Structure 1
Amino acid sequence: MVLVGGVAYGLSGSGEDPAAGPTLSPSHLAGPATSAPPADGTTTPATPALQEIDGSELAERISDATADKGSFTLSFRRTAGKEVTSVSGGSKEGSYKVSVSGPKMEKRQVVVVGGDGYLQQGAAWAKLPLGGKAKGYGVLVEQARWGTSVEELSALLEDAQTVTRNGNRWVGAVPQASGLDAVAPGYRKAKVSFELQVGSNWLPKQVKLTITAAGKPKVVTTTAFSKWGGKITIKAPAKR
């Protein structure tokens, strides 16, 4: 009986409940590093280890993720020296409905349906030339169309020689990029550094590009994507 009483006292310590067990620090309680599922029930896709991915695979994953989405909302910003372009709105299957402003150009509404552009002027809408005939607001729209194009982004990533993962961000560089005329006309043998943030299922959330070339001002574009696959209605404005 003496021995049993001594063991019981030894377990209980200074009168605490012996069934409570030892007190562990948070680091002990955590155990091995694991990834708990988010509270909303969604799952974060497995991301390849650094040695298992390159620019081509990153481009392929993004292309696959966005292939059936069709629509998204966007915010685009381009800076070149003191010149700033800002575009925000939505896109669906190559059409755009956006607010646009740029150097010495106040904010205006622009609608692009297929290859046709329309610029709001008060209560009326005027045709807005795009492509090779673009001027003024048309140039700003072409900058945004390039900056929000998954095809252009994928082509750029294909040529990336270095890709490094930092959480859900991927950073890298393309030493000699091509196809930059929409956002950096005349930049030959340009170097592009990129920072790409992806969300669930590899859908792009933000892309920052820094474009440099000898004798040219630095050009920086930042595009934010959201609401992939959301409901967006875009149609040509009624003639007035």
Structure 2
Amino acid sequence: MAKLTKKQKEAHAKIDKSKSYDLAAASSLVKEITNVKFDASVDIAIRLGVDPRKANQMVRGVVTLPHGTGKDVKVLALVTPDKEAEAKEAGADYVGLDEYLQKIKNGWTDVDVIITLPSVMGKLGPLGRILGPRGLMPNPKTGTVTMDVAKAVQEVKAGKIDFKVDKTGIVHAAIGKVSFDAEKIAENAKEILQTVIKLKPTTAKGTYLRSIHISSTMSPAVIVDVKTV
């Protein structure tokens, strides 16, 4: 096991490993124990009592964080010419169709979200092997396949994110930056937690919210008291 640096030891020492914290205290503590020189991301990990291998226990959804993620989300709008102006005005970083389909085919995936039209989805099918593993394949359930391209782009830019439980039963999501006020981090965390709770599968047995951890880039994780959510 790698040795901890002096700053890492100091960060660990500030966390009481024998207790869990409410969202407000956890958010403040994460800011306090982050010592990197850049504006680190703040992430939440929610362990759920589900079996993701079963289709009827898959937890997936979208949420608009009230204070955004703090990240400049790069959006590619794969649209027909009649929708290009609409996508550009809404703030899409890249707008087009065939030229970008070719770029993706050649391995280009330097975007965070792809928004497209229902009529274009057929052209994206062959690119599933490239887009799927990177979480970039548009999906009607997350609002990224739509006729209202402008609204979709604006929502993503404003802090709308999609999440999906992984194969170990954990939902991971970025909920802000360390430069955010602790209150904003806590409010973003509460928003995604409430959304996840509403999506509890009827087939899930036992405790649904198993554990919640909040951490920043390279910081130790802070345990959130599930009972306070």
TM-score band, normalised by the shorter chain? under 0.3
TM-score by length of 1: 0.23
Which structure: larger Rg?
1
Which structure would you say has the larger RCO, counting Cα contacts within 8 Å and 6 or more residues apart?
2
TM-score by length of 2: 0.24
Greater share of helix residues, 1 or 2?
Answer: 2
Greater share of strand residues, 1 or 2?
Answer: 1
